[in-house]
Amino acid sequence: MTRHLISTGSPFERSFGYSRAVVDGDFVFVSGTTGYDYATMTLPEDPAAQARNVFKTIGAVLEEAGLVHTRREGRYKFHHVDTSPLRAIVERWPIDAEEADS
């Protein structure tokens, strides 16, 4: 996997010259994720709304990185996590079951 920069289109990314996320090899680095609502350009006072915004931003980044696939059915939204990159990492460090139990 090559290095891939991901931007969410936030004006802050353009102003300060950073990418929301960087996919580099087996890693995805996410930065600058706050409770800010980029659709309304406001920071909600409600902490729960801020938390939803954080996960919405991270979810969009993981979807663009190809690690999460989302589909809608009516009012429901389903997320499928692609764990194949994780399997490749785990296979590099095989663990002996007996050794792990001790």
Give the model confidence (pLDDT) of 50-94 as tens digits: 999 999 888 888 888 888 899 999 999 898 988 887 777 777 777
Cα 31 off chain centre by? 10
User: What pLDDT does residue 102 have?
Assistant: 56
**Element of type H or E holding 71:** strand 68-73
What's the predicted TM-score (pTM) here? Answer: 0.67
Domains and CATH numbers, the chain: 4-101 (3.30.1330)
> Which residue in 60, 59, 33, 35 sits closest to 48, CA to CA?
35
Q: Which tokens is 44 given?
A: 């909600």
pLDDT for the residue 101: 56
